[in-house]
Amino acid sequence: MKEATSGTLYWVQTLLKIAIFLSITGAAVSSRLFSVIRFESIIHEFDPWFNFRATKYLVEHGFYKFLNWFDDRTWYPLGRVTGGTLYPGLMTSSAAIWHLLKKVGLPVDIRNICVLFAPAFSGVTAYATYKLTSEIKDSGAGLLAAGFIAIAPGYISRSVAGSYDNEAIAITLLMVTFMFWIKAMKTGSIMHSTFAALFYFYMVSAWGGYVFITNLIPLHVFVLLLMGRYSNKLYASYTTWYAIGTLASMQIPFVGFLPIRSNDHMAALGVFGLIQIVAFGSFIKSQVSWEKFQTVMFVSLAFLLVLGVSGLFLLTYFGYIAPWTGRFYSLWDTNYAKIHIPIIASVSEHQPTAWPAFFFDTQFLIWLFPAGVFLLFLELKDEHVFVIAYSVLCSYFAGVMVRLMLTLTPIICVCAAVAVSKLFDAYLDFSFVFQKSKNGARKFDKDAIFTTITRTLVSGTFVAYLFLFVYHCTWVTSNAYSSPSVVLPSRNPDGSPALIDDFREAYYWLRMNTAEDAKVASWWDYGYQIGGMADRTTLVDNNTWNNTHIAIVGKAMSSPEDKAYEILQAHDVDYVLVIFGGLIGFSGDDINKFLWMVRISEGIWPDEIKERNYFTPSGEYRVDAAASQTMKNALMYKLSYHEFPTLFGQQEGIDRVRGQTIRAEDVGDLDYFEEVFTSENWIVRLYKLKDRDTLGRDLKSASQFDRAAARGTKRRVSKRPQLELRV
Amino acid sequence: MGRMINVRIALTAIVILLVQAVAATTPANGYPQTWENIDYKRRVDVSKSYLQETAEIRIKNIDSIANDKYYFALPSFVAETLSYLSASLKDVNAFIDSGIVHDQPASEENSLTFALITLPASVSPGDEIDIVVRFAHNTGRRPFPERIALGDRQTMLITIDELPLSNYETLHYSIEFSGASEFSHQASENSKLAPVSTKGGLALKTSASIPPFEPSPIFTISYPHDGSFPRVNNLERGIWASHWAETLQFEEYFELVNDAAPLESGFSRADYMKKQLALKKGNHLATLEIPLPAEASDTYFTDLVGMVSTYRVFGDRLILKPRYPLFGGWRFNFTIGWTNALSQFLHESKEDETYILSVPILDGPVNTFYDNVSLSVYLPEGSQVVQVESQIPFHAQEVSHKKSYFDLREGHTKISIQYKNMVDDLSKGQLLVVYKLSSQSLYKKPLSIGAYIFCALIAFFVLKSQ
């Protein structure tokens, strides 16, 4: 696309571009609103609940109190230094928007800002992608890329309305940073690289995935150096970016001195050093003869390599540089987490990606992606090297971890846009029809007709593909990525739509009807939700910073009632919350997650908890009569199935998730816990720890006595009084 | 307009808890003995979630001069939760002046509260007149036994003074209870009352003369009550008037609690389902019925964690199903809202851009007692409050500002009024707000918003052209 610089054409182009961007933003935002329209303006899933809670705290207490926030309502009794262990970028952004809107007379509720944050930023992402792709190819490809990224399900999966997570803003910042980096690298402009550094800082403040930028830009520079493409522009942009970016990133409390201590950041430092040497070398090269320079280069390179590697090794060995983190190892060895860190492996988004997921998330872009990379290879300008490095690196990561599909999607969109735009450049060009031949008459020969037909055919096919893509994206967004998972859709007996709202029912019951400082023990998945919706103190939550503490809850859940009672009492627990899907067939319940609880606590107490004991002798995981005795005695089993069989009239109940029969005698009685609330569809069950017996008995014998007494009363009542006279 | 003024006159006549301090110097033993209660009929109705009492008294002037002031005594613990007190003449359908006397004479043991009833005309010495005093309060009732099992029958207990508490001597006295299928009572040993047979309910009477402020034995009435006792701790009612949208928006935040007997053990959902209690009447509160103003639209029901999908609108009634059934002692905070046309409530006076807004003071669920009600009326930005009239006496009033959407200057004009001890019966009461709103300030807002957007576009154009 040729760009006019002045005159009417310029304004027409500007107007068209604005119109196109408004439509793209409109499409991006509206396709993310399925959940708001179908359900309501609600925060989704788990982590967003924490971010929402933190944002509310920030808005209420101000920035400095937020940075110094010590949260005593989670990880009881340890608490969490929340202000120092989170990425504040997301919360500060939405708080800033909240304040800004308030200033201009729009006091929007903070919840609505949080819910609509991700859709709003997806529009910005589209614009940044447009700018980036324009740098790579031209603005035609840019518009295509913007259109792709706006509706690609791979990105939508983390940015629907209500999905108020760090990724919502991180992808935007990723694209903006890269856009500025490409500009800086092309022009050597200090301003652009400063902007790149500032957005890098913003990214650091928003998402742990900033490490991706920290490594990708140095990799780009490194590859360019290896290709012998060193230039002063590259030097100026990289050193500016690195110096400002690193210093700025160290201002984030959670990051602190990591940029100079952690292995994740060493590549950037190494390349920074390397580029100094290369700069020095190129200076020398311009001063001395080629032979002399070669000798100097080889000697110094070998020396530096040895020094660098041994220095890194020694510093790591003596603990000055932090070794790689567990998540990093699991990037290289997909089995690493399963063996060493079950808590990472227990999260479904850390599993390797299945092949169909690529097509599901990007549809026809996935096969245009390699084509685009190949086309860039043909040209191989400096900025193309960046895209190629990004593509290769991210393709691998996306294959290892499902959630990294998110970082791959933008580059897929860029490459696919390059491919499609190249194709359209050639095949949408019908100008020859209007060209006049040399003799002045219009030319309608065979060639022209065939060219017209082939061009119409090819571009028609691709327009159809684009149409299918839009259709697919809408379908995927609507069906797969728009469920808040707090509320489940269902149907009334008469077929009208209804909602299963058990989570909020139980959380709200907790919030309304328990003491404000009550402590709730549950599996860590529900920690953030309990904090956000029930506003009660939790033992563990989705932050998972303390594996031992999680293992304590896991141990309590997998122990028999009396042991569990001791553990929970020692931690001041008042209520225990379990998720049970057996009644309506909700498969994400605690019995299905139970093995992870067992595994995690086995990691800490291998003598007391053994995974093997929870299986049947034939190695099956069962909950019916054939279940092992350890399983039947486990607190989780008892709390899940308490009174469940009695609901079915006879002594057996059918668990609809596992399709097994639960017998009343397997579940037994509860001696140490008392049911206080169960939600309408039994998804959430709440139990209270009984108070210690006033007569000093242990709770088991006290409960047995009470039950016997109750049976005795019944028997006595049913007995007729004896009235016959004894003489 | 005419109809409204009629309603207004009729309702202003219920000068309930009239805030008027009657400076009076009285002896320590109450006010002068100017009257005699010839016949004192007391009725207690327990059918609602609060107690409604009626005292029908035939009084005789025993003074040497004509009198028109009768002092009605109430124990202070009743007065604390007293919702309304109204007096009327028997057989005459009109209210007469009555109000709590705030300058109380210091009394010895149980402190008393007096209401002053001013008769429409003085009564000559020796003449008799029948007055009826009605009041509602929320004291002296508790469940017995205190906790019950899921699905059990609930029995309530009222402890009440057996004898009338009066400033004057009473010659004949009877007390009657109604509103429950059966009553059983435990009279104290030295009870002066004898039971009388009645159709339903319980009645007792005595013909012995009762001296003023006679210390009364307490007696205890128990009766089955298969229902809930909804009580609203706090109600924050906001009413937003918009002249541009032609709407009056209502938003009410309730802090609801059920005062019924709590469960003796935890709530067992299995039992609840097996006994099918969701379909039966019991002391749990499963649904709330809220009458809405006619033609209300855009109804919503939310709570602190989001939307509650279980509600229906049938005509002018809103039926809410809380997230969980409220058993005794359980709480549930929620917000409801709806929109009405402004013309239903607003009347424009012809001269000098003055408007009269007449809104109901309450719209909450039926059969409910309110501890505190905070009513806020939000008028458009730039309006000036001329006058505020509440047909129900209030506790405190304030005019301030509140910034809302597109308020670029001082914000909406907010009138907030605090009420205490309200009952659903008072929902007929109206609040009248007279305010001025010039057409200048009405048009100022859209024009200034338009100007800002215009400036932004021009700025964009200028920046792009360079």
| Residue B456 burial (CB count, 10 A) | 10
A515 touches chain B (CB under 8 A): no
Tell me how far apart the alpha carbons of residues A630 and A604 are, in angstroms, rounded to a whole number. Answer: 18
- Cross-strand bridge partners of residue B359: B431
Count each helix (H run) and each strand (E run) in chain A, helices first: 33, 9
Examine the pLDDT at B16 and tell me if it is beyond 50: no
Q: Give the relative orientation of helices A110-136 and A7-31 as an angle to the nearest 10 degrees.
A: 130
End-to-end CA distance of chain B: 62
Instruction: Give the pLDDT band of residue A438 (cuts 50, 70, 90).
Output: low
End-to-end CA distance of chain A: 119
| Residue A165 burial (CB count, 10 A) | 22
The pLDDT of A522-526, averaged and rounded, is 91
- The answer to whether the CB of B115 falls within 8 A of the CB of B102 is no
pLDDT at B10: 41
Give A317-375 pLDDT, tens digit per residue. 777 766 666 666 766 776 776 677 777 777 777 778 888 889 999 889 999 999 999 99
Tell me how far apart the alpha carbons of residues A586 and A581 are, in angstroms, rounded to a whole number. Answer: 4
Of A277-291, B92-106, B333-347, which gets the smallest average pLDDT? Answer: B92-106
Examine the pLDDT at B335 and tell me if it is beyond 50: yes
Do the bridges between strand A519-521 and strand A537-538 make them parallel or antiparallel, or are there none, so unpaired?
parallel
Examine the pLDDT at B11 and tell me if it is beyond 60: no
* Residue in A closest to B333 by C-alpha: A512
Q: Which chain A positions have a beta carbon within 8 Å of B408's beta carbon?
A: 104-105
Give the minimum alpha-carbon distance from B323 to chain A in angstroms, rounded to a whole number: 5
Give the minimum alpha-carbon distance from A449 to chain B in angstroms, rounded to a whole number: 43
Contact A107 B403 (CB under 8 A): yes
CA of A203: how far to CAs of A45, A97, A121, A174, B65, in Å?
Answer: 23, 17, 14, 7, 90
Give A184-221 pLDDT, tens digit per residue. 999 999 999 999 999 999 999 999 889 899 999 999 99
Give the minimum alpha-carbon distance from B380 to chain A in angstroms, rounded to a whole number: 14
Instruction: Give the pLDDT band of residue A570 (cuts 50, 70, 90).
Output: very high
Contact B267 A675 (CB under 8 A): yes
Examine the pLDDT at A295 and tell me if it is beyond 90: no
* Residue in A closest to B311 by C-alpha: A498
Give A669-708 pLDDT, tens digit per residue. 888 999 999 999 999 999 999 988 888 888 888 888 888 8
- Cross-strand bridge partners of residue B373: B235, B419
Computed on alpha carbons and rounded to an integer, the radius of gyration of chain B in Å comes to 27
Tell me how far apart the alpha carbons of residues A720 and A722 are, in angstroms, rounded to a whole number. Answer: 6
- Residue among B274, B310, B333 minimizing CB distance to A512: B333
Q: Which chain A positions have a beta carbon within 8 Å of B411's beta carbon?
A: none
- Name the residue with higher pLDDT: A438 or A137: A137
pLDDT at B439: 86
Residue type at A387?
Answer: V
Under 8 Å CB pairs connecting chains A and B tally to 83
Contact B307 A675 (CB under 8 A): no
Tell me how far apart the alpha carbons of residues B51 and B137 are, in angstroms, rounded to a whole number. Answer: 6
Residues 671-690 of A with CB under 8 A from B: 674-680, 682, 687-688
Tell me how far apart the alpha carbons of residues A635 and A613 are, in angstroms, rounded to a whole number. Answer: 14
- Of how many residues is chain B composed? 466
The CA dihedral of B279, B283, B284, B289, to the nearest 10 degrees, is 80
The reply to whether CATH 3.40.720.10 applies to domain B231-445 is: no
CA of A113: how far to CAs of A42, A97, A501, in Å?
Answer: 11, 8, 23
b/e per residue, B157-189, with b = 16+ CB within 10 A? bbebbbbbbbbbbbbbbbbbbbbbeebebebee
Nearest to A257 by CA among A321, A327, A316: A321
Only one residue has tokens 């017209």, namely A452
Three-class DSSP category at A18: helix
Nearest to B374 by CA among B357, B355, B390, B358: B390
Q: Give the list of residues 6+ apart from residue A466 with CB closer than 8 angstroms, or none.
A: A420
Put the strands of the sheet holding B141-143 in their side by side order.
B141-143, B155-161, B218-224, B184-186
pLDDT at B442: 86
- Provide the whole-model pTM: 0.89
The pLDDT of A256-273, averaged and rounded, is 86
Tell me how far apart the alpha carbons of residues A354 and B170 are, in angstroms, rounded to a whole number. Answer: 91
Contact A677 B266 (CB under 8 A): yes
Disruptive mutation site among B285, B323, B326 for chain A (greatest number of A CBs within 10 Å): B323
pLDDT at A401: 82
Residue type at B93?
Answer: N
Contact A678 B308 (CB under 8 A): no
Residues of chain B with CATH 2.60.40.1730: 35-224, 231-445
- The answer to whether the CB of A402 falls within 8 A of the CB of A351 is yes
Contact B270 A647 (CB under 8 A): yes
Instruction: Give the tokens for residue B461.
Output: 């154009």
The pLDDT of B437-461, averaged and rounded, is 90
Residue B393 C-alpha from the chain's centroid: 11
The pLDDT of A36-47, averaged and rounded, is 90
Contact B323 A644 (CB under 8 A): no
pLDDT at B255: 95
Nearest to A541 by CA among B331, A533, A549: A549
Nearest to A564 by CA among A711, A687, A467: A687
Contact A646 B274 (CB under 8 A): yes
Instruction: Give the pLDDT band of residue A443 (cuts 50, 70, 90).
Output: low
Tell me how far apart the alpha carbons of residues B346 and A575 are, in angstroms, rounded to a whole number. Answer: 52
The pLDDT of A654-660, averaged and rounded, is 89
Give B215-253 pLDDT, tens digit per residue. 888 888 899 988 899 999 999 999 999 999 999 999 999
Give A130-182 pLDDT, tens digit per residue. 999 999 998 889 999 999 999 999 999 989 999 999 998 999 999 999 999 99
Contact B268 A643 (CB under 8 A): yes
Q: Which chain B positions have a beta carbon within 8 Å of A106's beta carbon?
A: 405-406
Give the minimum alpha-carbon distance from B376 to chain A in angstroms, rounded to a whole number: 18
- Name the residue with higher pLDDT: A436 or A661: A661
- Residue among B270, B324, B407 minimizing CB distance to A505: B324
Question: A520 φ, ψ to 5°?
Answer: -115, 125
pLDDT at B17: 39
Disruptive mutation site among B232, B267, B284, B305 for chain A (greatest number of A CBs within 10 Å): B305
Computed on alpha carbons and rounded to an integer, the radius of gyration of chain A in Å comes to 31
pLDDT at B2: 42
Q: Give the list of residues 6+ apart from residue A298 with CB closer than 8 angstroms, or none.
A: none
Contact B265 A513 (CB under 8 A): no
DSSP-derived secondary structure letter, B94: S
Q: What is the mean pLDDT of chain A?
A: 88
How would you classify residue A535: left for phi > 0, otherwise alpha for psi between -120 and 50, otherwise beta?
left
- The answer to whether the CB of B97 falls within 8 A of the CB of B117 is yes
Give the minimum alpha-carbon distance from A6 to chain B in angstroms, rounded to a whole number: 9
Complex-level ipTM: 0.89
Examine the pLDDT at B462 and tell me if it is beyond 60: yes
Question: A62 φ, ψ to 5°?
Answer: 90, 165
pLDDT at B465: 77
Structural domains of chain A ordered from first start: 354-431+447-485 (no CATH), 499-692 (3.40.50.12610)
* Residue in A closest to B300 by C-alpha: A40
The pLDDT of A576-597, averaged and rounded, is 91
- Cross-strand bridge partners of residue B338: B250
**How open is the CA angle B288-B291-B297, to the nearest 5 degrees?**
105
Residues 417-476 of A with CB under 8 A from B: none
Give the minimum alpha-carbon distance from A38 to chain B in angstroms, rounded to a whole number: 12
b/e per residue, A271-301, with b = 16+ CB within 10 A? bbebbeebbebeeebeeeeeeebeeeeeeee
Tell me how far apart the alpha carbons of residues B170 and B166 are, in angstroms, rounded to a whole number. Answer: 8
DSSP-derived secondary structure letter, A691: P
* Residue in B closest to A52 by C-alpha: B305
Contact B333 A14 (CB under 8 A): no
Only one residue has tokens 């219920």, namely B14
Residues 644-673 of A with CB under 8 A from B: 644, 646-647
CA of B405: how far to CAs of A130, B240, B370, B380, B408, in Å?
Answer: 34, 12, 31, 11, 9
* Residue in A closest to B452 by C-alpha: A104
Give A538-561 pLDDT, tens digit per residue. 999 888 888 899 999 999 999 999
Three-class DSSP category at B109: coil
Contact A105 B330 (CB under 8 A): no
Tell me how far apart the alpha carbons of residues B74 and A596 are, in angstroms, rounded to a whole number. Answer: 66
Tell me how far apart the alpha carbons of residues B221 and B217 are, in angstroms, rounded to a whole number. Answer: 13
- Residue among A39, A504, A675 minimizing CB distance to B305: A504
Three-class DSSP category at A525: helix
* Residue in A closest to B332 by C-alpha: A512
Contact B306 A40 (CB under 8 A): yes
Only one residue has tokens 């190892």, namely A329
The pLDDT of A279-284, averaged and rounded, is 86
CA of A223: how far to CAs of A227, A231, A369, A670, in Å?
Answer: 6, 13, 21, 65
Contact B266 A676 (CB under 8 A): yes
User: At the fourth CATH level, which superfamily is domain B35-224?
Assistant: tricorn interacting facor f3 domain (2.60.40.1730)
Examine the pLDDT at A8 and tell me if it is beyond 90: no
Q: Which chain A positions have a beta carbon within 8 Å of B268's beta carbon?
A: 643, 675, 678
Tell me how far apart the alpha carbons of residues B237 and B235 are, in angstroms, rounded to a whole number. Answer: 6
Only one residue has tokens 């435990």, namely B186
Disruptive mutation site among A505, A513, A514, A574 for chain B (greatest number of B CBs within 10 Å): A513
Three-class DSSP category at B262: coil
- Name the residue with higher pLDDT: B351 or B256: B256
Of A634-638, A713-717, B101-105, which gets the smallest average pLDDT? Answer: A713-717
* Residue in A closest to B308 by C-alpha: A501
Tell me how far apart the alpha carbons of residues A329 and A402 are, in angstroms, rounded to a whole number. Answer: 15
Give the minimum alpha-carbon distance from A161 to chain B in angstroms, rounded to a whole number: 15
